[in-house]
Amino acid sequence: MNRKLKRFVIILFSLVIVIGIGFVGAGMYFYHVAFIPSHKSFISGQHFTKNSPLDLDNQWYLHHSKPEVWHETSATGHFKLDANYIKAARKTNKTAVIAHGFMGDKSKMGIYAAMFHRMGYNVLVPDDRSAGKSQGNSIGYGWPDRLDYVKWIQKVVKKNGSDSQIVMFGVSMGGATTMMVSGQPDVPKQVKAYIEDCGYTSVHDEIKYQAQQMYHMKTFPLYPLLPILSGIAKVRAGYYLKEASSVNQVKRNHRPMMFIHGANDQFVPTKMVKVVYQADRGPKEMMIVKRAPHAASYQTDPKLYVKSIQKFLAHYIK
């Protein structure tokens, strides 16, 4: 090898190393943004008109519902998990298990807890790992959490009896969690139906979409960055991004599921609901709510939302 060629190879090799280190650094940065609980400027909170029906429901949940506090240990990692359990006004064997969204916790699910409570259900609202009062070291995006929700459901059956009738419901990340639970072989037979609202097709798809939307990334930086981020997630969170797939899970589901999505969802694109709906193998319904942005189908059209859920559940829970 002559001197010029040798010099070129050294420079090229050095550039590859520098670029590689840069991508690893970028991967670590995006892991922190996506997986570590902290303030996220791109997440907006719930907004209700003061003294509106939904605001009053939320206030009831936060201040007057008088929940029992339940605890469970995570299926992996031995984290202590926390949940609110609210008994129905009249004794019943019907229970709704509610999963919250990204950077949310059980305190943000008041309007849905009140909705099911008004329908006559007991309500269980857990904090996912690293959320609210539950322990953890990263946001699970529903994938490790799916195993925890199976344990929560088993706890409902143990406490309320083998004749329990359970519906699992979730919004946004909670919607994805619900779909991910549906594909587990050990879900108790007492789960009669699932309702998912604006969940994503997979963690990989959602993070890729957000990278394109928030950082305007094109094909080149995404192509090496996503596999690097996925590898970091495997080491630190225990799974690869594509492994956490709602699509693959609903392919294993044979129980009834209702799919809800806002027509104007810019956070989890509306097209994703059509993919998971087509993949699902059980009895199913899909409702796309006109004008609704992300995680706001209930707020956009409350009457349609409640009426549709009641009609769906009436087929499977008596």
Residue 262 has which token pair? 């806002």
Give the span between the Cα atoms of 171 and 175, in whole angstroms.
4
Nearest CA to 267 out of 232, 292, 248 is that of 292
- Reported as a pLDDT band with limits 50, 70 and 90, residue 25 is low
List domains and CATH numbers for the chain.
48-202+244-314 (3.40.50.1820)
Instruction: Write the pLDDT tens digit of every residue in 96-112.
Output: 999 999 999 999 999 99
Residue 298 is inside which H or E element, if any? Answer: helix 297-300
Q: Burial, 12: exposed, middle or buried (Cβ in 10 Å; 0-12, 13-18, 19+)?
A: exposed
Indicate left, alpha or beta for 207 from its phi (over 0: left) and psi (-120 to 50: alpha).
Answer: alpha
Q: What share of the chain has pLDDT > 90, as a percent?
A: 77
Instruction: Write the pLDDT tens digit of every residue in 154-165.
Output: 999 999 999 999
Nearest CA to 294 out of 276, 267, 274, 273 is that of 267
- Reported as a pLDDT band with limits 50, 70 and 90, residue 44 is low
- Reported as a pLDDT band with limits 50, 70 and 90, residue 179 is very high
- What's this model's pTM, rounded to 2 decimal places? 0.91
Instruction: Write the pLDDT tens digit of every residue in 198-222.
Output: 999 999 999 999 988 876 666 556 6
